[in-house]
């Protein structure tokens, strides 16, 4: 499944950085969830520069008071995404933005995070495929 070049890299253009954009995506409330992760997503059609996935990790300060724990969760999320994002295949005229939000109460293990993120990415792929076929029909 993975391509020959740039298999698992996580470069700058795959990160969602704008705080305005993150607020917009979370406010749209288009999400799928499986404990302990909630995934907000937003698709945009763009003819010139498409085919890019951007992702951001959100951990509430209320859930984890210490910066160490928040960093830990964000790193686990990023690692799980980095190893598994090749599940997603999107067409060249589409941009996808994702926000992973942690909704659990205790520090997760890497194995559970990885498993859950694979399932979420698969369901996301099916949703995107439905959207694409819907657009084509229109």
Residues that bind RNA (CB under 7 A): 6-12, 15, 17, 19, 22, 56, 62, 65-68, 71-72, 74-76, 79, 82-83, 109-111
Q: In angstroms, give the least distance from the CB of 5 to RNA.
A: 9
Q: Which is nearer to RNA, 19 or 137 (CB)?
A: 19
The rounded distance, in Å, linking the Cα atoms of 94 and 47 is 8
Q: In angstroms, give the least distance from the CB of 112 to RNA.
A: 10
Q: Which is nearer to RNA, 83 or 132 (CB)?
A: 83
CA angle 42, 44, 47 (to 5 degrees): 160
Q: Which is nearer to RNA, 34 or 82 (CB)?
A: 82
**CA 90 vs CA 35, 72, 98: distances in Å:** 25, 29, 13
Q: Which is nearer to RNA, 23 or 130 (CB)?
A: 23
Beta bridge partners of 1: none
The rounded distance, in Å, linking the Cα atoms of 58 and 37 is 10
Q: In angstroms, give the least distance from the CB of 131 to RNA.
A: 26
CA quadruple 7, 77, 88, 111: dihedral sign? positive
Beta pairing class for 94-102 and 37-45? antiparallel
Q: In angstroms, give the least distance from the CB of 95 to RNA.
A: 17
């Amino acid at each position: 499944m993975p391509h020959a070049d740039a298999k698992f890299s996580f470069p700058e253009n795959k990160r969602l950085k704008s705080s305005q954009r993150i607020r917009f995506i979370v406010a749209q409330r288009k999400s799928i969830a499986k404990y302990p992760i909630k995934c907000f997503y937003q698709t945009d059609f763009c003819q010139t520069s498409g085919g890019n996935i951007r992702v951001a990790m959100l951990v509430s300060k209320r859930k984890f008071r210490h910066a160490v724990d928040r960093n830990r969760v964000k790193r686990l999320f990023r690692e799980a995404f980095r190893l598994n994002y090749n599940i997603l295949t999107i067409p060249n005229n589409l941009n996808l933005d994702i926000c992973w939000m942690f909704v659990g109460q205790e520090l997760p293990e890497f194995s559970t995070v990885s498993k859950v993120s694979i399932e979420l990415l698969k369901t996301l792929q099916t949703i995107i495929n439905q959207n694409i076929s819907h657009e084509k029909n229109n």
